[in-house]
A and B are shown apart, each in its own frame.
Chain A
Amino acid sequence: MNTFTYRKIKNASLYVLVCLFAGLTAVPLFAILGQVLIKGWRQLIVSDFFVKSTPTTLDALIALRSGEIIPGGIANGIVGTILMVLMATFIAIPIGIFAGIYLAEYKTSKYASIIRFLTDLLQGVPSIVVGVVAFIWVVIPLKSYSALAGSAALTVMMLPLIIRSTEETMKMIPNTMKEAGLALGTSYPIVILRVMLPSAFGGIFTGVLLAVSRVIGETAPLMLTALGSTMIQWDVTRPNSAVSLLIWEFYNDPNLQSLVWSASLFLLIFVLTLNIIAKQIAKKWRIQ
């Protein structure tokens, strides 16, 4: 075998190897999707699943005994998740965007670099720790577990993502855009709010969607703050449920275990959809 064929073989085998490993990364995703689909789809297409609350263990047991599909659904969890994520998003958006603007506009200042570092640290804080802190700061003073406390924990988890995506997008806007605005005799705040921010809209919106999809599946902080609820609860000062919490509860109840799959399937589809939308928006609104 001459050196040339040897090199060709080496080249080909390395190529096959990298392709193989690249393909391997997709395996877990499809394994999860497949498993959840197979085990969860039946429950999901029962119309009650989205409108009824969690069944009791007894109802589930009776249904299981007679070989029927478990009645009830995860409406209480969906309502809780929507309430808490919406509240968290509404609080985190203004704070996150303004903080991100600050970091982008004063990038060289000492204070900004400290804030940037702290933001990175905050992103690394384990979610259970965020939950414990929210418990001490919100649940104890309010003397009740509540959706409010849950959304406080989620807000803290969303902030670093929104701050950094705002900062990165604002930095990508060419300086000439800011200069063009100022050269028209526009004041600095107006240039930021009406020239820079609209140009950065795509990136910021993508960041918000990714932050939402990041916290929508959070469970640990909600155990300590929202606690859970077996019925639909619109009062934000009362304990509430969430889809992720329900998955945990179903897992712990032998009679409800089959619901784990359908609730997971719902959450998974939701998060995947958000991610796909975020990608599309990022593509459509990218900075020219």
Chain B
Amino acid sequence: MENTIKENILTLKDVCISYTPGQNAVNMVTADIQKGLITSIMGPSGCGKSTLLRAINRMHELYPGITITGDIKLNNKDILKMNAIEVRRMAGMVFQRPNPFPTLSIYDNVIAGYTLNGIKKTKDEKDEIVENSLKNVALWDEVKDVLQKKGTFLSGGQQQRLCIARALALKPDILLMDEPTSALDPIATNRIEELLVELKKEVTIVIVTHNMSQAARISDYSMFMYLGDLIEYDTTKKMFTNPQDKRTEEYLTGKFG
């Protein structure tokens, strides 16, 4: 990457995450993630990639018994010491399956981050946020006439773009995506991938993916995780052409995974 200034938005230092005491699902991960780029996390099932991602917006707090140690700094602030609500506004998340709120209209889904949090906006401001967010995800032209229909009325790919719009509406610093295309067909996947490449102008993206070719197509940097360890972290180009670790090479050439 010929980026002039490298600015880290997210730094991970010795991050360990365990579901059961003494057994790390993520083990001593240290990495710096750069602003304005797409970083993908790859690895076989159970390697801890989603676990690591979900630590960044403190999703693990929903479930008891998960411990996180080490430092996770977002914009130089230690997220483990911050209020979880504040963290989650800085770090938006898109999930594996599209999950628009089923009782809300398309419009209300996009603006949900504001209404649910009691942030008052005038009608014009709301309209603007909805329009911009939906334009950002290239959904505006498809839904502008049906904004009052339920979000679940859309197709799977459209729903996922709606969910991305919902996350973007709050203007997060970083967008965490947990296998966002694994439930979608190839055409919808392709649209989302194009979208992400466009979006990195506005927001840093960290994407967990099962799909190596997806990582190769869209990401600037790639991480390869295996059994909880971060095996390799480099530019995507370098990792796919000249992997340093034997395990990365074996994974990328389809020997396991």
Contacts and interface: CB of A to CB of B under 8 A. Distances in A.
Interface of A: 108, 174-187, 190-191, 194-195, 198-199, 201, 287-288
B146 interface: no
B85 A288 contact: no
B103 A201 contact: yes
B59 interface: yes
Contacts of A177: 99, 101-102
Judged by DSSP, the binding face of A is: helix
A176 B95 contact: yes
Interface stretch (B67-75, B135-143, B163-171, B235-243): B163-171
Contacts of B117: 184-187, 190
A287 B101 CA distance: 11
Contacts of A184: 88-89, 92, 112-113, 116-117, 166-167, 170
Contact of B86 (A179, A185, A186): A185
B116 A180 contact: no
A176 B179 CA distance: 14
B62 A179 contact: yes
Contacts of B97: 176
B53 to A, nearest CB: 11
B93 interface: yes
Contact of A180 (B85, B99, B103): B99
A195 B93 contact: no
Contacts of B92: 183-184
Interface string B86-115: 111100110111011111000000001100
A186 B119 CA distance: 11
CB-based closest 10 A-B pairs:
A185-B89, A183-B93, A185-B88, A184-B113, A198-B103, A186-B116, A176-B99, A180-B99, A185-B85, A288-B102
B88 A182 contact: yes
